[in-house]
Structure 1
Amino acid sequence: MQYLLLIYSAERDWNQLTDSEREHGVAAYQAYTEALTKADVLVGSNRLRPTSTATTVRLVDGKPQVLDGPYSDSKEQLAGYYLIDAPDLDAAIAWAARCPGASHGVMEVRPVWKPPYYAAADA
């Protein structure tokens, strides 16, 4: 089953790191990505640009309303994700706990529905 490992962290913390600390952080994520790849569970991953580049779209009276910025203001922002294929939730949680993001933010593990999207079948 596929699981999305969502990485939430405080954007401003990255900017406060020294160059050496940033290099260490990048190396940690590279090592984690290599471990996922070697275990043959990695489906995809991406780091997201800062929330200042986000655009929020919602329908108001049937018309799109477009706003600059993220949907919510919070201490931690969605920073990136890994899409993995793991045998069960326990395995996905174990991978999430190994992610560098778990040490400086929050990891959310969410199962991915595969088509057809019938809630009753997966609930």
Structure 2
Amino acid sequence: MKYLLLIYIDPQLLQALPTDEYDTLMRGCLQHADALQADGTLLMSQRLQPPASAQTLRSRQGQSRVLDGPFAETREILAGFNLIEAADADAAMQIARQFPWAAYGSIEVRAVDDLNGERRELHA
């Protein structure tokens, strides 16, 4: 089963890290991600640009609006994601625990629905 690990960070906590500590943390994270990718567990991983570079689209009653920046103001920001393959939710959470980012925000673990199943059901 596929799971999406949504990586949220508190920028203040991350910015408080000395540069050499951040570099060591990130290097270890990248090496761990490479190992997970090599064994077929990690399917995709990306870091996102800061929220200030985002645009939010909202459509209501036939009217669309594009707003600069994120729609919601939060202390933690969505910083990236990992798409993984795991046997079940517990195994996915174990994989999430192997990444350091929960100490600087949170990691949301969410099962990925089978969109192809929906396609078949709707004959689309």
| Shorter-chain TM-score tier | 0.7 to 0.9
Q: Deviations over 1:12-66 (max 9, x none)?
A: 4434433212211221221220231243211101000000001000103212100
Structure 2 residue aligned with 1:76: 76
Q: Which consecutive residues of structure 1, in runs of 5 or more, have no partner in the other structure?
A: 119-123
Structure 1 moving runs of 4+ over 6 Å: none
Query: Which secondary structure does the structure 2 equivalent of 1:25 belong to?
Result: helix
Structure 2 residue aligned with 1:117: 118
Does the 8 Å CA contact 2:47/2:80 hold for their aligned counterparts? yes
Give the TM-score, by structure 1 length.
0.86
Structure 2 residue aligned with 1:55: 55
**Aligned pairs, number:** 118
Structure 1 residue aligned with 2:122: none
Structure 2 residue aligned with 1:30: 30
Q: Which moved more, 1:32-41 or 1:83-92?
A: 32-41
Question: What is the Cα deviation at residue 105 of structure 1?
Answer: 1.3
Q: Deviations over 1:63-110 (max 9, x none)?
A: 210000112111101100000011111110000111111222101000
Q: Provide the rounded CA distance (Å) in 2 between the counterparts of 1:39 and 1:105.
A: 27
RMSD: 1.6
Give the TM-score, by structure 2 length.
0.86
Sequence identity percentage? 37
Q: 1:49 to 1:12 in 2, by over 3 A?
A: farther
- 2:88 corresponds to 1:88: yes
Q: Which consecutive residues of structure 2, in runs of 5 or more, have no partner in the other structure?
A: 120-124
* Partner AA of 2:32 in structure 1: Y
- 2:4 corresponds to 1:4: yes
Q: Which moved more, 1:37-46 or 1:83-92?
A: 37-46
Q: Provide the rounded CA distance (Å) in 2 between the counterparts of 1:61 and 1:16.
A: 44
* Partner AA of 1:63 in structure 2: Q
Q: 1:104 to 1:13 in 2, by over 3 A?
A: closer
Does the 8 Å CA contact 1:32/1:100 hold for their aligned counterparts? no
* Partner AA of 1:108 in structure 2: E
